Chains A and B, each alone.
Chain A
């Protein structure tokens, strides 16, 4: 019979390592952003503005069919940006729309949204009616969530994180904030690796932890060590910045270069959004 304490410890160990691996893979992998696809070739500023326009359109439209059209366009963009469609579906369609469906579930029923019945059922002596307005509202909500999430995921997959952060400056975010967030992002990988190494080092010396109290002590010790190292490193990084002329007001490279292709793309995005708005509100 397996020891429940070991199981618990394994659970903590696995969770910790999985979390670190997720951080590294989800936030630091730029595999798709480095591919030579359509969206990757666009200036991040134009791309972000156009995707913001798509998002505003998706949340403003009241027709599931029109939002679905935008979703279809998003899939076409993903295809031409060399994003594997199955993986894209897995990232966007599996959990978030399912969760939104759970949220929206009560509004399907006549008791919450009265209207023309579409389907009625009888379970354990309770009569339930799904109404047309309830069903339409739920479909609209789920399609809107799925489209919005897909757009955001597509933007983040096809743009390097550092470039996305730099785009923030377009919206008046101070340079010091952009630099600080960029540095946090840059050191995330280093600290994740450091925590992994500390964990492996402890495991190699301590081996199997038989007492929960002992395990807690080790975790607390890890946290303290990581804290000490990060504090020390932040002081050294500050010195490295001073050494290269930093005096409190950072100046950063603005290396965006807009091409006619970017302007054309923005024009297309405006036409698509305007067309959808026109169809949704005036036709």
Chain B
């Protein structure tokens, strides 16, 4: 079908040829979908995003993007690489990796400049994305002087300036304060409303209801153990518990101690 953006077929990937990261992953992602990839640490979520971004390539199986196979050779060709990268943007988990320029402004400008966007247009985009993410006051700052939340917003701005059709987010809310988490969720929701395809890797189940319609759960076997609507997946206690996504804990409140599971969609008494 023409609206299919990514098709992942029986993908296997291992680091250094001996540490498996993905084993037989299959998924289809259509234009405008909001997808969440959830799983415990080390289940291959980040690896999948890097595969979808054409940064690494499967040992076995294949990934098709916009109707074309994602191959190392095509990514080495400047024209094909640019054609693909204009349409797909990855926000890395570690913002320090993404922000490699000496100033925030240059980091935001880096992507558009590589695609040959005129400098006047680049400057316009810088101001636009800075306003959208409320980082105008950070433009002349040095990335290492920013807080984690500010870095994350700048990292998103650096991808937003490219204006891709597909956003890949790797743990976008990890380690952030509640207000910054809210800003990022709002950004994702707005991007989705503008017709962008959103794929988010996370284990923060509380945000999934807002940022995803479809959820894929990655298991310890480095493959998808279940895919489905966010509501059906989040209500499957056994699935979430067996994949280390919820835990049972004991705590005090209201003057009494009680034990319960941490579930994102259910309030507890």
Residues of A at under 8 Å CB distance from B? 28, 30, 160-162, 165, 182-183, 185-187, 189-190, 233, 236-237, 239-247, 250-255
Contacts and interface: CB of A to CB of B under 8 A. Distances in A.
A253 B108 CA distance: 10
24 contacts: A30-B142, A160-B102, A162-B102, A182-B102, A183-B101, A186-B143, A189-B144, A233-B97, A236-B97, A237-B97, A240-B92, A240-B100, A242-B81, A243-B85, A244-B111, A244-B114, A245-B81, A245-B85, A245-B86, A247-B78, A251-B113, A252-B109, A252-B110, A253-B109
Contacts of A30: 142
Contacts of A185: 102
B94 interface: yes
Contacts of B106: 162, 252-253
A239 B101 CA distance: 14
Interface in B160-185: 162
B267 interface: no
B262 to A, nearest CB: 30
Interface in B105-133: 105-106, 109-111, 113-116, 119, 122-123
Q: Is the interface of A mostly helix, strand, loop or mixed?
A: helix
Contact of B102 (A165, A236, A242): A165
Nearest to A192: B144
Nearest to B103: A162
Q: How large is the interface on B (under 10, 10 to 19, 20 to 34, 35 or more residues)?
A: 35 or more
B100 A237 contact: yes
B155 to A, nearest CB: 9
A182 B103 CA distance: 10
Contacts of A160: 102-103
A247 B82 contact: yes
A243 B100 CA distance: 13
User: What DSSP secondary structure best describes chain B's contact surface?
Assistant: helix
Contact of B119 (A165, A237, A244, A253): A253
A252 B50 CA distance: 25
Contacts of B55: 239, 242-243
A252 B105 CA distance: 11
Nearest to B93: A236
B53 A253 contact: no
B230 interface: no
Most interface-central of A239, A243, A251 (chain B CB within 10 A): A243
B186 interface: no
A252 B113 contact: yes
A237 B101 CA distance: 11
Contacts of B105: 253, 255
B144 A245 contact: no
B114 A246 contact: yes
A240 B100 CA distance: 9
Given A244-B111, A245-B86, A247-B78, A182 B119 contact: no
A245 B96 contact: no
A190 B144 contact: yes
Contact of A244 (B110, B116, B123, B142): B110
A233 to B, nearest CB: 7
A264 to B, nearest CB: 24
Q: Which 8 A-B pairs have the closest CB atoms?
A: A162-B102, A245-B114, A244-B111, A251-B113, A189-B144, A253-B109, A236-B97, A247-B78
Contact of B159 (A162, A241, A244, A252): A244
B89 interface: yes
Contacts of A243: 53, 55, 85, 89-90, 92
B98 interface: yes
B81 A183 contact: no
Nearest to B56: A239
Contact of B162 (A233, A239, A244, A251): A244
A186 B98 contact: no
B197 interface: no
B158 interface: yes
Interface in B19-72: 50, 53, 55
Interface centre among A162, A185, A190, A253 (most CB of B within 10 A): A253
Given A162-B103, A250-B114, A251-B114, A240 B144 contact: no
B90 A245 contact: no
Contacts of B158: 244
Nearest to B75: A242
B113 A186 contact: no
A54 to B, nearest CB: 26
Contacts of A255: 105, 123
Contact of A236 (B85, B86, B94): B94
